[in-house]
C-alpha cells in the first residue's frame, strides 16, 4: 500500500514538474568571424579582399496594446493605420492589439498592474483611471516624446502631479472633446425659432425657446441618465461656466467654492426654471446613451442634445447601425449667455480618449516610439477625417465625407474660447458622487427641492475638509 502511494505521488509530481518547466529560451549564438591580420602588402601582391561580417538579425519582439473603441470601427482603423506604419519601420516588432470596452478594460488593467504582470505596454487611457497616475503605473511622457505636433491644450489637459507630487504629462490625447449643444436645424425652422447670428441665445431667450419646443410636444433636450449619470451634468457645466468663468468653476468643482455662493445659487435657480418646463423627457431616468442618440437624430424626439463632440463617434456611422440619417441637419449652439456672466465666451474642452505607456513595461522604448507615431500630424489628419472627432494633435487638412461637419463647427465657433473645466477630471470622488446623484439625477427628476439639493451639496463639500 505504501509503495503504491509512493508511486502515485511520484507520477503526480513528475507530471506537475514537466508541465511547469518552461523551455529555456535559446539565445542565438553569434559566431564572430575570425579576424586575420593582413600581411604587409608587397608592391607586386594582389589586394587582400576582406569578406563582410554578418550583421545579427534583431530578435522578434511583441508589444502589447490594449484599446477601447471595440465597437467603433472608424477609430480602430486609425489606430491600426498607426500600428501598421510603426510595424513597417520596425519589422521585428509585432503589435498585439486587444480591443475592449473600457468598462471591462480598466478593471483588467488595474488587476494586471497590481499583480505586476500581464499589463499592456501601451494602452488607451482616460479619466476612468486617474488613480493609475498616482500609483506610478504610467510613464511620464514630459520629455519622452516629441510634442511639437500636439496641441498645447492637449498637453496641458494631461499635466497633473505624479506619484512624487511633481507635474508630469501622462498621456497623449488622441481624442479631444468639446462639450456642445447640438440642435436639429430643421426642427428649429419648423418651430419658427431663429438662431442668433453668433449662435448664442441669452439665458432668457434660451428659456423661451425651450418653452416653445415643449409646447410643441417635443422634448427640448434628448439627454437621459439611464446608464450614465454624467449625461445630466452638461446643463450645469454650461450655465455655471457662463456664470462663473473658468477659475471659479474649477474652484467650485474642487470643493473650494461654496454651493451657497450667490452666483452659484443664481445659476442653479436658472437651471431649476428649465427643469420646471420641463426640458427632459419622460424617459430621462431610464433611456440609455445609445437610445438618446437615436431619439435625437432619427426619431425627432428632442430638439437639442447636450453632449461632447464625441457625438460623431456614434452618429456618423451607417444609419442601420444607429447613425444619424443623411438628411439630418445638425447644428451647433453656444452656451446660453448669463446676465453678467464671466464666462459667456467659453466652452468646456477636455482630453478624452488618450494613449499612455506603462512605466513598468519591458518594451518601454518601443512603446514610446509607437506613441510617437500616433502623436503625428499624419495620424491626426486621418483621425479627424475618418472619425470627425476632434483631436489633441495638430492637423493640417480636414477633408473627406465629414467636411460639412467641420465647416459647420468652424462657422459656429468663431472666436470661441475654451476652458479645461470638465468636472470628471477635477472633482473629488465624494463630491462627484453627491453631484451626480443629487444634481444630475435627483433634481431634474423632482426628487429633491433646489434648497435641499444646495444644502446637501454644501454638506458634501464640507465633508471633504
Partner 1 sequence: MEIKSPFLAKEHKYKHAKPKRPWRTILLFLAPTLVLYFGLIFYPVVRTVYNSFHTLDMTRGMEEQFVGFENYEDLFGKDKTFKLATQHSLIWGFVSPFLEIPLALILALILYFKVPFERLFRIAWFSPILLSYVVVGIVFRWVFNNEWGVINTILSSIGLDALTQNWLGTTETALPSLIFVTTWMFTGFNMVILLAALHSLPTELVDAARVDGASIPRMVRSIFVPLLQRTIASLLILCFIGKMKIFDLVWVMTKGGPMWATETVSTYVIKRAFHWRTLDLGYPSAIAVLWFIVIFCLSLIITRLLRRRELVEF
Residues that bind partner 1 (CB under 8 A): 1, 5, 8-9, 12, 107, 110, 114, 130-131, 134-136, 163, 165, 225-227, 229, 281-286, 429, 432-433, 437-438, 441-442, 445, 447-448, 463
The CB-of-29 to partner 1 minimum distance in angstroms stands at 41
The CB-of-446 to partner 1 minimum distance in angstroms stands at 9
The CB-of-53 to partner 1 minimum distance in angstroms stands at 48
Q: Which is nearer to partner 1, 135 or 398 (CB)?
A: 135
The torsion defined by the Cα of 121, 127, 128 and 134, in degrees rounded to 10, comes to 70
The CB-of-249 to partner 1 minimum distance in angstroms stands at 20
Grid coordinates representing 415 are 472666436
CB of 355 closer than 8 Å to CB of 174: yes
Q: Which is nearer to partner 1, 336 or 442 (CB)?
A: 442
Q: Which is nearer to partner 1, 83 or 225 (CB)?
A: 225
Coil, strand or helix at 102: helix
The CB-of-290 to partner 1 minimum distance in angstroms stands at 14
User: Which residues touch 413 (CB under 8 Å, ≥6 apart)?
Assistant: 332, 334, 347
Tell whether omega for the bond before 324 is within 30 degrees of 0, i.e. cis: no
The CB-of-430 to partner 1 minimum distance in angstroms stands at 8
Grid coordinates representing 153 are 491644450
Q: Which is nearer to partner 1, 109 or 241 (CB)?
A: 109
CB of 72 closer than 8 Å to CB of 105: no
Q: Which is nearer to partner 1, 125 or 284 (CB)?
A: 284
User: Which residues touch 436 (CB under 8 Å, ≥6 apart)?
Assistant: 229, 230, 232, 233
Q: Which is nearer to partner 1, 134 or 198 (CB)?
A: 134
Measured CA distances, 151 to 123, 166, 281, 462 (Å): 20, 22, 38, 37
Which residue, 348, 355, 347, is CA-closest to 173? Answer: 355
Reported in sequence order, the residue ranges of 156-238 that DSSP labels E, i.e. its strands, are 159-161, 167-169, 172-173, 176-184, 219-221
Q: Which is nearer to partner 1, 163 or 319 (CB)?
A: 163
CA dist., res. 105 & res. 107, Å (int):
6
Do the bridges between strand 167-169 and strand 159-161 make them parallel or antiparallel, or are there none, so unpaired? antiparallel
Which residue, 191, 188, 187, 212, is CA-closest to 199? Answer: 188
Q: Which is nearer to partner 1, 47 or 165 (CB)?
A: 165
The CB-of-135 to partner 1 minimum distance in angstroms stands at 6
Q: Which is nearer to partner 1, 5 or 29 (CB)?
A: 5
The CB-of-338 to partner 1 minimum distance in angstroms stands at 27
**3-state SS track over 5-52:** HHHHHHHHHHHHHHHHCCCCCCCCCCCCCCCCCCCCCCCCCCCCCCCC
The CB-of-428 to partner 1 minimum distance in angstroms stands at 8
CA dist., res. 268 & res. 106, Å (int):
34
Grid coordinates representing 296 are 435625437
Instruction: Give strand pairing partners of 240.
Output: none
Instruction: Give strand pairing partners of 302.
Output: 219
Q: How far is CA 146 from the centre of its chain?
A: 21
Q: Which is nearer to partner 1, 232 or 331 (CB)?
A: 232
The CB-of-456 to partner 1 minimum distance in angstroms stands at 9
CB of 180 closer than 8 Å to CB of 346: no
Q: Which is nearer to partner 1, 161 or 196 (CB)?
A: 161
The CB-of-187 to partner 1 minimum distance in angstroms stands at 20
The CB-of-285 to partner 1 minimum distance in angstroms stands at 3
Q: Which is nearer to partner 1, 129 or 245 (CB)?
A: 129
CA dist., res. 234 & res. 180, Å (int):
9
CA dist., res. 394 & res. 93, Å (int):
27
Amino acid at each position: 500500500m505504501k509503495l503504491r502511494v509512493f508511486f502515485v505521488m511520484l507520477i503526480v509530481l513528475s507530471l506537475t514538474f514537466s508541465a511547469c518547466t518552461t523551455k529555456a529560451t535559446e539565445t542565438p549564438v553569434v559566431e564572430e568571424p575570425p579576424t586575420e591580420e593582413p600581411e604587409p602588402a608587397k608592391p607586386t601582391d594582389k589586394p587582400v579582399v576582406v569578406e563582410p561580417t554578418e550583421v545579427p538579425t534583431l530578435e522578434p519582439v511583441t508589444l502589447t496594446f490594449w484599446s477601447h473603441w471595440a465597437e467603433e470601427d472608424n477609430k480602430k482603423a486609425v489606430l491600426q493605420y498607426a500600428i501598421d506604419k510603426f510595424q513597417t519601420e520596425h519589422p521585428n516588432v509585432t503589435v498585439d492589439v486587444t480591443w475592449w470596452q473600457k468598462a471591462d478594460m480598466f478593471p483588467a488593467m488595474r488587476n494586471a498592474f497590481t499583480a505586476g504582470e500581464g499589463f499592456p505596454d501601451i494602452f488607451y487611457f482616460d479619466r476612468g483611471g486617474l488613480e493609475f497616475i498616482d500609483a506610478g503605473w504610467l510613464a511620464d511622457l514630459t520629455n519622452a516624446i516629441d510634442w511639437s505636433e500636439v496641441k498645447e491644450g492637449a498637453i496641458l489637459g494631461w499635466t497633473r502631479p505624479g506619484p512624487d507630487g511633481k507635474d508630469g504629462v501622462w498621456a497623449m490625447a488622441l481624442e479631444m472633446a468639446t462639450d456642445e449643444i447640438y440642435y436639429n436645424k430643421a426642427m428649429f425652422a419648423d418651430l419658427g425659432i431663429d438662431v442668433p447670428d453668433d449662435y448664442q441665445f441669452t439665458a432668457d431667450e434660451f428659456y423661451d425657446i425651450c418653452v416653445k419646443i415643449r409646447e410643441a410636444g417635443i422634448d427640448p433636450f434628448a439627454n437621459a441618465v439611464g446608464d450614465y449619470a454624467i449625461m445630466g451634468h452638461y446643463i450645469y457645466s454650461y450655465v455655471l461656466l457662463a456664470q462663473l468663468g473658468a477659475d471659479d468653476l474649477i474652484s467650485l468643482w474642487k470643493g473650494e467654492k461654496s454651493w451657497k455662493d450667490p452666483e452659484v445659487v443664481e445659476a442653479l435657480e436658472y437651471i431649476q426654471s428649465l427643469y420646471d418646463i420641463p426640458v427632459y423627457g419622460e424617459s430621462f431616468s431610464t433611456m440609455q446613451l445609445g437610445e438618446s442618440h437615436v431619439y435625437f437624430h432619427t426619431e425627432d424626439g428632442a430638439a437639442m442634445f447636450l453632449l461632447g463632440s464625441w457625438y460623431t463617434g456614434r452618429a456618423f456611422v451607417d444609419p442601420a447601425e444607429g447613425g444619424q440619417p443623411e438628411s439630418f441637419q445638425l447644428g451647433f449652439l453656444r452656451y446660453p449667455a448669463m446676465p453678467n456672466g464671466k464666462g459667456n465666451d467659453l466652452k468646456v474642452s477636455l482630453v478624452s480618449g488618450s494613449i499612455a505607456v506603462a512605466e513598468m513595461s519591458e518594451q518601454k522604448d518601443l512603446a514610446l516610439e509607437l506613441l510617437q507615431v500616433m502623436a503625428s500630424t499624419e495620424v491626426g489628419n486621418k483621425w479627424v477625417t475618418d472619425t470627425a472627432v476632434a483631436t489633441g494633435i495638430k492637423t493640417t487638412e480636414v477633408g473627406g465625407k465629414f467636411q460639412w461637419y467641420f465647416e459647420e463647427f468652424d462657422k459656429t465657433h468663431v472666436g470661441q474660447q475654451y476652458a479645461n473645466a470638465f468636472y470628471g477630471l477635477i472633482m473629488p470622488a465624494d463630491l462627484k458622487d453627491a453631484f451626480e446623484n443629487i444634481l444630475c439625477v435627483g433634481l431634474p427628476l423632482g426628487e429633491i427641492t433646489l434648497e435641499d439639493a444646495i444644502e446637501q451639496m454644501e454638506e458634501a463639500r464640507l465633508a471633504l475638509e
